[in-house]
């Protein structure tokens, strides 16, 4: 069979989601369910966000997903010890029987997202079942792998999207009419509800509704790469063949797509601007953040555009020199990839103009929150590079072509809150 035919055959195998016994907080043992949740580990702004979450409740999930200690080995040992202690004390307890979980998020302003949490068979990208769209950083995968090995747990679900035919959605929506296992509202105003599906017929209906579909990784590329690494380390089939995910049918519940911004440590805005002179058109904006982002959105309609901040003002970069793009961007990639803002930023600006390594935490940070990126740049004397989001259809089309986007190109959401349901491999 040729490669294309093999991929199509594997894709027809589709998504294989299985029930598991979820680990959940005992609401009688914690301050509140909201106070023990956290955004995903890579969305928490360190160290401010970690300290804020730790102070919210002594049992906040951040103590597992982002343990604080002097060395990497101490951090993973601390997380494993904490998880064992919480299990022994009944802070976390396993549900009595395996289940798939319906998870709902709403914001009170009309946004409603529902999906199914379960353990998904881990598959290589070549199988065409789970499609990544971004590359990963080896040190982050190594860190997540060490944490999962030590805890023998999937501490937070990945966010995957698929385009369903309504089969699974019917079960999801019928389940959401029942009283939930838990309901809580987090400090960002989002309401979270969770239900368990244990009925064999409903589980089978969801599984059949997924069996001929493929999914796009919306959030969690590093954790999916970690699942693959840990699976490959095993000598025999077992629990590492599956990983914890949230699957959202975007035909029914479209996701929001936002940008992930860059914070360049040690590069003052004045130096960044001096280096791009003659290579981009630069406009200086003395306006509030919302107006600066509106100007960025307008400029992005015509081509590549970025906002620099960190010196108390905003600086709009657009209309890059075509000669710079020809020199910096590989010509053998699809046009849609070559024209991405993230491609231009990483290939042209970071590598050729500013000489900043994209995978060095000492030089660059990736931050989801726009205002936090600007504030940290102003406080630290660095440069914030604010991005405009990519459309979801562009992401999906590139993923289907097997084209990997630059790292941290997109932020799909809303993301599942960490701490509502976990998976321990031995339970």
Exposure class string for 73-111: b at 16+ Cβ within 10 A, else e: eebbbbbbebbeebbeeebbbbbeebbbbbbbbbeeeee
Identify the pLDDT of residue 411: 83
Residue 2 in domain: no
Dihedral over Cα of 108, 112, 117, 122: its sign: negative
Q: Are residues 153 and 238 in the same domain?
A: yes
Same domain? For 289 and 250 the reply is no
Residues 159 and 279 in one domain: no
Residue 110 placed within a domain: yes
Question: Are 243 and 312 within one domain?
Answer: no
Task: Mark whether 166 and 310 lie in a shared domain.
Answer: no
Q: Are residues 33 and 176 in the same domain?
A: yes
Tell me what pLDDT residue 1 has: 36
Q: Does residue 10 form part of some domain?
A: no
Helix (H) or strand (E) holding 378: helix 370-380
Cβ atoms within 10 Å of 370's Cβ, excluding its own: 20
For residues 58 and 137, membership in a common domain is answered with yes
DSSP string computed for 328-376: HS-TTS-HHHHT-HHHIIIIIIIIIIS---TT-TTTEEEES-HHHHHHH
Write the DSSP assignment of 108-128 as a string of letters. SSS-EEEEEEEEEE---GGGT
The strand ranges marked E within 275-332 are 281-285, 305-309, 314-318
Asked if 187 and 46 sit in the same domain, the reply is: yes
Asked if residue 8 is part of any domain, the answer here is no
End-to-end CA distance of the chain: 40
405, burial (CB in 10 Å: exposed 0-12, middle 13-18, buried 19+): buried
361 closest CA partner among 146, 143, 157, 158: 143
Number of domains in the chain: 2
* Pair (325, 381) in one structural domain: yes
Phi, psi (rounded to 5 degrees) for 170: -65, -40
Residues 373, 310: Cα–Cα separation, whole Å? 9
Question: Is cis: bond before 47, omega within 30 of 0?
Answer: yes
Q: Which residues of the chain have pLDDT under 50?
A: 1-11
In a domain, 152, yes or no: yes
Query: Is 11 part of any domain?
Result: no
| Residue 341, domain extent | 261-408
Q: Is residue 246 part of a domain?
A: yes
Q: Assess whether 194 and 276 both reside in one domain.
A: no
pTM of this prediction? 0.81
Tens digit of each residue's pLDDT (9 = 90 or more) over 323-347: 999 999 998 888 888 889 999 999 9
Whole-number percent of the chain with pLDDT over 90: 76
Strands 305-309 and 383-386: antiparallel
Residue 45: predicted pLDDT: 66
Q: Which residues are paired to 333 by β-bridges?
A: none
Same domain, 207 and 274: no
Asked if 377 and 299 sit in the same domain, the reply is yes
Instruction: Say what the pLDDT of residue 2 is.
Output: 42
Domain presence at residue 5: no
């Amino acid at each position: 069979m040729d490669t294309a035919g093999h991929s199509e055959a594997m894709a027809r195998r589709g998504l294989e989601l299985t029930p598991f016994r979820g680990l959940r907080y005992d609401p009688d043992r914690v301050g509140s369910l909201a106070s023990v949740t956290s955004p995903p580990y890579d969305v928490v702004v360190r160290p401010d966000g970690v300290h804020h979450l730790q102070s919210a409740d002594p049992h906040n999930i951040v103590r597992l997903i982002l343990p604080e200690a002097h060395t990497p080995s101490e951090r993973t040992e601390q997380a494993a010890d904490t998880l064992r202690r919480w299990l022994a004390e009944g802070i976390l307890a396993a549900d009595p029987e395996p289940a798939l979980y319906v998870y709902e998020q709403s914001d009170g302003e009309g946004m409603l997202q529902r999906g199914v949490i379960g353990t998904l068979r881990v598959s290589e990208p070549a199988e065409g079942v789970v499609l990544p769209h971004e590359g990963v950083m080896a040190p982050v995968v190594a860190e997540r792998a060490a944490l999962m090995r030590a805890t023998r747990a999937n501490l937070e679900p990945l966010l995957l999207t698929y385009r369903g035919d309504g089969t699974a959605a019917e079960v999801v929506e019928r389940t959401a009419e029942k009283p939930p296992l838990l309901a809580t509202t987090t400090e960002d105003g989002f309401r979270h509800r969770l239900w368990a599906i244990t009925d064999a017929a409903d589980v089978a209906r969801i599984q059949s509704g997924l069996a001929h579909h493929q999914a796009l990784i919306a959030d969690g590329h590093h954790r999916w790469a970690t699942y693959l690494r840990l699976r490959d380390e095993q000598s025999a089939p077992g629990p590492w063949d599956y990983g914890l995910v949230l699957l959202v049918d975007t035909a029914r519940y479209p996701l929001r797509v936002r940008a992930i911004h860059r914070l360049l440590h040690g590069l003052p805005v004045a130096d960044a601007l001096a280096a791009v002179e003659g290579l981009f058109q630069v406009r200086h904006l003395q306006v509030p953040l919302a107006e600066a982002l509106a100007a960025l959105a307008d400029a992005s309609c015509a081509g590549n555009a970025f906002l620099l901040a960190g010196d108390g003002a905003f600086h709009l970069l657009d209309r890059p020199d075509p000669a710079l793009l020809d020199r910096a961007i590989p010509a053998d990639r699809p046009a849609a990839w070559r024209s991405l803002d993230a491609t231009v930023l990483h290939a042209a600006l970071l590598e050729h103009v500013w000489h900043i390594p994209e995978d060095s935490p000492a030089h660059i940070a990736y931050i989801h929150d726009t205002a936090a990126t600007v504030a940290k740049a102003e406080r630290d004397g660095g440069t914030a590079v604010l991005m405009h989001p990519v459309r979801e259809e562009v992401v999906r089309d590139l993923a289907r072509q097997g084209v990997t986007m630059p790292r941290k190109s997109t932020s799909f959401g809303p993301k599942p809150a960490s701490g509502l349901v976990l998976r321990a491999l031995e339970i």
